[in-house]
Chains A and B, each alone.
Chain A
């Protein structure tokens, strides 16, 4: 077999490709192609010399092929891909070194929905207790945090026949969203207070142990969104038309007003 002749032809054909990895790859491909052609011809009974000549003739002018390959295999994208690969590898190493610790730090945990207020979603009276559930959409913003009251549940105690004597506990689920994952989770719930339509003020349990008061617990923590449950204890349940969560400190005025009027209809 005309090994030297084939090698010389392939070297000439790939000589003008500027991106070296391509040059090597195409050289091997062309050489293998010539070998295959040569093997086919000799297997068909053609003499070695004639087969070599026929293969060389079929491949054409090496210089012309070189010009075509040069046009086809531009070096820019080859080098760009190499750089991109290196960057990707570095980014992967960085991510593997840093992200596991960050994910641990997130400490994601969830509480099932029932734990929102600890009762099933019944609106019927049973044993002098009633649960009322609603999904309001009260919303306000401060310091890049968006506060949304997503659902509420009221558990009231007392006789159905004497509604004015009933007392209740109101659970408000609040989602706090911040689009910056690196921002600290909002902790201002200790400082919230609430006022209802009757003028009753619910101070934070951090400041008072006298009822009625307000307490807040975080129930779910995520990358962008935290969920808190605010509990208002011992309020006059039937006459309260609305309730407003307030934060009025450090020059901020946060307001989350929740309409409770649907409750009476549910009770009726």
Chain B
């Protein structure tokens, strides 16, 4: 005859099953919560892991094709008053957080690369090198003059529509500059622009610094501020 389980054991079996279910659901919850949904939530989580923030997100950029050796698709920029946070997002869910300290309320920096140890080739037909300027006081337009060597100075103007202010106020605290770097562009007979940019660690990993002058203008094109600034590249690491 088939042996039947005692009805009194049913309670015990019920509680065991319930406990197992609870444990499994907890494990599933932990697994599901391990990745934040949405780029902002992920940015916030990365900030906390870097013992930083919360910062104000000042721009979200789709990375253009012609930016060299960046290897990411989206860039979120956060500002906590002291530092600028660069949150690099790549297709497939990978992300990375860089941070750069402001000097005197300003930061002028080459955009960070995904992997600073592996410089990648220049991309696009007319590749460019992007520079980002963050200011404390908002302005309508910005210009920078980079002194890359004793004989080489570059004058750059901020790009319209790239201030990070999406349909917002006319003034912004974030400006994008592009240094056009056509293939074999020569400053002089023996001086390649690319080499100069590499020497100054603008376009490649390493340590470098060079002086720059930053000028900020208002809506009427009146000069708001002129600042002497030293652009410092952070070493690879």
Contacts and interface: CB of A to CB of B under 8 A. Distances in A.
Interface residues of A, number: 54
A94 B25 contact: yes
A209 B207 contact: yes
Nearest to B101: A249
Contact of B234 (A95, A142, A145, A206): A206
B34 A250 contact: no
Interface residues of B, number: 39
A191 B49 contact: no
Given A77-B11, A80-B14, A182 B50 contact: no
B21 A183 contact: no
Contacts of A29: 1-2, 4
A207 B51 contact: no
B4 A182 contact: no
Given A181-B30, A207-B235, A145 B51 contact: yes
Contact of A191 (B34, B45, B50): B50
Nearest to A95: B24
Nearest to B232: A207
A13 B14 CA distance: 27
B96 to A, nearest CB: 9
Contacts of A121: none
A185 interface: yes
A105 interface: yes
Contacts of A252: 51-52
Given A29-B1, A99-B27, A204-B237, A188 B50 contact: yes
B80 interface: yes
A115 interface: no
A91 B48 contact: no
A92 interface: yes
B188 interface: no
A194 B34 CA distance: 32
A188 to B, nearest CB: 4
Interface string A90-105: 0110110011011001
Given A105-B34, A252-B51, A72 B1 contact: no
Contact of A94 (B24, B30, B53): B24
A9 to B, nearest CB: 17
B185 to A, nearest CB: 29
Contact of B51 (A28, A36, A102, A247): A247
B165 interface: no
A185 B18 CA distance: 32
Nearest to A77: B10
Given A206-B235, A206-B237, A209-B207, A98 B45 contact: no
Contacts of B49: 183-188
B31 A250 contact: no
Interface stretch (A81-89, A127-135, A153-161): A81-89
B83 A250 contact: yes
A188 B14 contact: no
B235 A208 contact: yes
Contacts of B82: 249-250
Interface in B178-195: none
B28 A72 contact: no
Given A94-B24, A206-B234, A209-B207, A184 B48 contact: yes
Contacts of A22: 7
A84 B21 contact: yes
Residue in B11, B24, B235 whose Cβ sees the most chain A Cβ within 10 Å: B24
A205 interface: yes
A237 to B, nearest CB: 24
Contacts of A55: none
B28 A95 contact: yes
Interface of A: 22, 25-26, 28-29, 32-33, 36, 72-74, 77-78, 80-81, 84-85, 87-88, 91-92, 94-95, 98-99, 101-102, 105, 142-145, 181-188, 190-191, 204-209, 215, 247, 249-250, 252, 254
9 closest A-B pairs by beta carbon, nearest first, are A184-B49, A102-B31, A182-B33, A84-B17, A91-B24, A206-B237, A188-B51, A250-B52, A77-B10
Interface of B: 1-2, 4, 7, 10-11, 13-14, 17-18, 20-21, 24-25, 27-28, 30-35, 45-46, 48-53, 80, 82-83, 97, 99, 207, 234-235, 237
Given A143-B48, A188-B52, A250-B51, 18 more contacts: A29-B1, A29-B4, A80-B10, A87-B21, A88-B17, A88-B21, A91-B21, A101-B31, A102-B31, A102-B34, A184-B46, A186-B51, A187-B46, A188-B50, A205-B235, A215-B237, A249-B82, A250-B80
